[in-house]
């Protein structure tokens, strides 16, 4: 009896190449910017749960939206894991691309926003204990990622990226605002810890994260405004990213409000003294960014993944206004909260429908075109 010997370089008669995990071409250009879909969906649930006026069926709707955000997060975590496994060259290229690397902040904010949504909107479905457990896991993971990207991305930008003068943009804020999201989501979780060392440590950690993100943002915002005033409007596809500036403004107001809720009553004064001026600047920037978007629309701006910039940042302003409503009991703050939430829901609806349409057509998963004026090489999705 003659036994066939497999050819050299084979195992079980199969070439080594045949034993490699199959590549997934559809995921090759799935960048970290896709986590913006998760953030934008989760904030719809969280901001809805914080509205000062109760509407029949609202909490159930917010819970359903939170479940959707959880499903999106799970799907994207799997898809991005497959991306790193099958397209490592492209994944490394994202890290070395100044247009794509800042979007790793979206991963941290997606984890944190879904975790916070578990307590704010998902507890009616999960129960308090399960909601706290989900939030604790996602908060811990999200905070770790937030601190990592807040250090790693600026380091990569300084050492490995080649950024030309005048290329500062709102996307630079993404890794810097991630610790602020952690600072805002921590105090509600701290309320479920036993009084004493554990709770106080978490609250102090949130305060430290607040300071780190705020100071980093204050250093970066002048660069963005100077670029806008001296170089001119952003490229059409990047114009929606001007709304990203609202993120640290609204989220910091939310964070101070949550810290005041968890601390002594006297801290409510600080929440108002900080929140009102910052909200005023946020509304000023909202008007400026809207004017730029209207101009871009008249010049032919089409849909791109940057349209998700209209969701999460506006949502943080809505939660910030809700915080001011709790601490001032003023009807004008309540009205502002509802108005911002209406804008958020409308923006989310448009972005979600257009994203689904782009996925079905395959356009959003195709190789991206570089955005004019973006740092090179540009592999972030701009269409």
| pLDDT at position 370 | 56
- Band the pLDDT of 369: cuts 50, 70, 90: low
Nearest Cα neighbor of 108 from 151, 68, 66 is: 151
Q: Alpha-carbon distance 71 to 22, whole Å?
A: 25
Nearest Cα neighbor of 76 from 283, 308, 327, 266 is: 308
Nearest Cα neighbor of 172 from 111, 100, 94 is: 100
Q: Alpha-carbon distance 264 to 260, whole Å?
A: 7
- 99 or 248, which is more confident? 248
**pLDDT, tens digit, 9 for 90 and up, residues 209-224:** 999 999 999 999 999 9
Q: Alpha-carbon distance 226 to 205, whole Å?
A: 32
% pLDDT > 70, the chain? 88
**pLDDT, tens digit, 9 for 90 and up, residues 313-337:** 999 999 999 999 999 999 999 999 9
% pLDDT > 90, the chain? 71
- 344 or 100, which is more confident? 344
CB atoms within 10 A of CB 71: 13
For the chain, the straight-line distance linking the first and the last C-alpha, in angstroms and rounded, comes to: 63
Q: What mean pLDDT do residues 123-150 have?
A: 96
DSSP 153-211: HHHHHHHT----TT---GGGGHHHHHHHHHHHHHHHHHTTSPTTHHHHHHHHHHHHHHH
């Amino acid at each position: 009896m003659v036994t066939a010997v497999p050819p050299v370089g084979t195992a079980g008669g199969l070439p080594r190449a045949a034993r490699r995990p199959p590549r997934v071409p559809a995921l090759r250009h799935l960048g970290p910017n896709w986590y913006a879909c998760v953030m934008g969906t989760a904030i719809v649930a969280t901001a809805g749960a914080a509205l000062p006026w109760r509407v029949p069926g609202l909490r159930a709707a917010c819970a359903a939206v939170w479940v959707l955000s959880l499903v999106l997060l799970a799907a994207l975590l799997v898809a991005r894991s497959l991306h790193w496994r099958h397209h490592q060259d492209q994944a490394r290229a994202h890290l070395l691309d100044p247009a794509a690397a800042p979007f790793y902040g979206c991963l941290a904010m997606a984890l944190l926003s879904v975790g916070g949504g578990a307590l704010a909107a998902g507890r009616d479905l999960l129960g308090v204990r399960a909601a706290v457990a989900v939030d604790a896991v996602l908060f811990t993971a999200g905070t770790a990622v937030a601190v990592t990207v807040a250090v790693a991305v600026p380091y990569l930008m300084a050492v490995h990226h080649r950024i030309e003068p005048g290329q500062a943009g709102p996307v630079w804020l993404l890794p810097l605002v991630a610790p602020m999201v952690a600072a805002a989501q921590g105090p509600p979780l701290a309320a479920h810890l036993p009084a004493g060392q554990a709770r106080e440590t978490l609250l102090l950690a949130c305060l430290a994260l607040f300071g780190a993100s705020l100071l980093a943002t204050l250093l970066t915002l002048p660069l963005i405004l100077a670029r806008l005033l001296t170089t001119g409007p952003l490229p059409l596809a990047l114009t929606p990213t001007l709304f990203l500036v609202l993120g640290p403004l609204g989220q910091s107001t939310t964070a101070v409000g949550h810290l005041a809720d968890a601390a002594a009553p006297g801290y409510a004064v600080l929440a108002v003294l900080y929140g009102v001026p910052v909200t005023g600047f946020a509304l000023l920037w909202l008007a400026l960014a809207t004017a730029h978007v209207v101009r871009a629309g008249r010049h032919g701006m089409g849909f791109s993944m940057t349209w998700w910039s209209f969701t999460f940042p506006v949502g943080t302003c809505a939660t910030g206004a809700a915080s001011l409503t709790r601490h001032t009991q003023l009807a004008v703050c309540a009205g502002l909260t509802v108005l911002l939430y209406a804008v958020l829901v409308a923006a989310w609806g448009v972005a979600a429908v257009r994203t689904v349409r782009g996925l079905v057509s395959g356009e959003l998963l195709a190789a991206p075109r570089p955005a004019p004026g973006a740092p090179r090489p540009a592999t972030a999705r701009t269409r």
